[in-house]
Amino acid sequence: MRMVDIIDKKRNGGELTKEEIQTFVDGVVSGEIPDYQTSAFLMATYFKDMTDAERSELTMAMMKSGDHLDLSSIDGIKVDKHSTGGVGDKTSIPLAPIVAALGIPVPMISGRGLGHTGGTLDKLEAIPGYQVEISEADFIKQVQNEGLAIVGATGNIAPADKKIYALRDVTDTVDSIPLIASSIMSKKIASGTDALVIDVKTGSGAFMKTLDDSRELAKALVGIGKGVGMNCMAIISDMNQPLGNAIGNALEIKESIDLLKGEAPADITDLVLTLGSYMVVMSGKTDSMAEARKMCEGTITDGSALKKFGDMVAAQGGDRSVVDHPEIMPQAKYKIPLPAKTAGVVSRVEADEMGVASMLLGGGRQKADDKLDYAVGIMMSKKVGDKVAAGDSLLTIYSDRENVDDIKDLLYANIEISDSAEPLTLIHETVR
Ligand code: URA
């Protein structure tokens, strides 16, 4: 079977067979298929989509390309959460300790930044010493001992995804339903979790810009999970403006710690508590969402979630003093405010362009091998619906270079001040 014929079939809108999909995945992993053919296949898939059967076959082939973790030695129902990616979306970082503080094991496998979106692993690496790459045995041991771990897909989990993910990022083929669904679900099935809540983002800062596309992605993800017997559900949450105030690696860790102290903005706190409540219900601890939410809130007020976060950081080699001293993380040289040019109400904050601005400051990658500057990013002071007077700071740019005129232009072009604003809905719907 020649790869060029498989590309040709997909390019012309044909439905690939199981064998053809297997040939593609095997060739990617062995290195027999060169990057230019993989890229062509990804672009053909981007434009021609895949049927449900193809999506499942691609997921399973990617999942079987590596190891399948056996988490059976960890007691209890293991619950994980995954996001399809957003701007300022640091949800996993406070969520895992909140749920783990309730005695529910959280073996979380996360990813790096993709396109304009940040990645949980990149953010955690802003903490001095934090190791995201640990062996499977250590991952399991840590979940047994501490109740949680947030790591990268260890050594051989879905190796096909590692190669495809990196190529998608640089060939502009990220925002494709079959490619996102197979990427997420291959890793989640291989990671052996019992239950999974997926946070599908929708809006300008998400890969899926419309509610219809987000719903289709959510259904694809949940369908694949249920197809292999996983207890799986999705929520569709808003990404029309950044989540919380912080965008950038160290800034987002600080905001996550603030959340665990009960001091974070309302939107990110609400989303974390909602996702946490679903995870608690899926663990079987209660069947009441209201009770689950109270339990999650309790871990913040009694300090147990913050302690759990410190335990996780220490177990993964990080400096737990970050909890009280976030200034041990890299700090930006310059903090530059962006004053409002006119008075009014903030009516639009383009989340994707805020993500691009943070990336251009050095907080994200433009090329796959770019080194990150953990200190830089943006702190929003005003969000959609907030009143502003001319001269009020809309946000602060955290930068290691003094001249940020290019970033200011980009930000001004993507924040709108009008007479009034349409309120944004944080959580649109659930898909089961
Ligand atoms: N997260 C993933 O793991 N893969 C994607 O394709 C998008 C978000």
Decide if 399 is catalytic.
no
CB 429 within 8 A of CB 201: no
- Ligand 1 pocket: which of 84, 108, 161, 191 to mutate (most atoms <8 Å of CB)? 84
User: Given pLDDT bands bounded at 50, 70 and 90, which one contains residue 114?
Assistant: confident
Residue showing tokens 């987000």 = 214
Residue 112: per-residue pLDDT: 85
378, β-bridge pairs = 247, 397
CB 338 within 8 A of CB 396: yes
| pLDDT over 90 at 298, yes or no | yes
User: Given pLDDT bands bounded at 50, 70 and 90, which one contains residue 111?
Assistant: confident
**Closest ligand 1 atom to Cα of 207:** 7
Whose alpha carbon is nearest atom 8 of ligand 1?
84
Whose alpha carbon is nearest atom 2 of ligand 1?
184
**Closest ligand 1 atom to Cα of 168:** 6
Helical pair 3-11 and 18-30, crossing angle rounded to 10 deg: 130
Q: What are the DSSP calls for 174-189, one per residue?
A: -S-HHHHHHHHHHHHH
Q: What are the DSSP calls for 4-70, one per residue?
A: HHHHHHHHTTPPPPHHHHHHHHHHHHHT-S-HHHHHHHHHHHHHH---HHHHHHHHHHHHTTS----
3-state secondary structure of 231: strand
Given the residues 67, 122, 161, 169, the one annotated as active site: 161
Residue 156: per-residue pLDDT: 84
Can you give the pTM of this predicted structure? 0.93
305: its two tokens: 């979630």
Any residues with CB less than 8 A from the CB of 62 and at least 6 apart, and which?
25, 158, 160, 161, 164, 182, 183, 186
Q: Report how far residue 108's alpha carbon sits from residue 185's, in angstroms, rounded to the nearest whole number.
A: 13
Residue 77: per-residue pLDDT: 97
Decide if 68 is catalytic.
no
Residue 332: per-residue pLDDT: 98
385: its two tokens: 């619906």
Dump pLDDT digits (tens) for 357-414.
999 999 998 877 889 999 999 999 999 999 999 999 999 999 999 999 999 999 999 9
Dump pLDDT digits (tens) for 325-358.
999 999 999 999 999 999 999 999 999 999 999 9
Q: Report how far residue 56's alpha carbon sits from residue 62's, in angstroms, rounded to the nearest whole number.
A: 10
Dump pLDDT digits (tens) for 146-171.
999 999 887 688 999 989 988 998 89
Distances 342 to 337, 350, 387, 417 between C-alpha atoms, Å: 15, 18, 11, 7
**Which ipTM score applies to this complex?**
0.95
Decide if 35 is catalytic.
no
- Tell me what percent of the residues of the chain surpass a pLDDT of 90: 92
Runs of H (alpha helix) within 172-316: 177-190, 211-227, 249-260, 266-283, 289-301, 304-315
Q: What is the mean predicted confidence (pLDDT) over 307-326?
A: 98
What amino acid is encoded at 247 in this protein?
Answer: I
Strands 79-83 and 195-202: what pairing? Answer: parallel
Decide if 187 is catalytic.
yes
**Closest ligand 1 atom to Cα of 180:** 6
Residue 155: per-residue pLDDT: 66
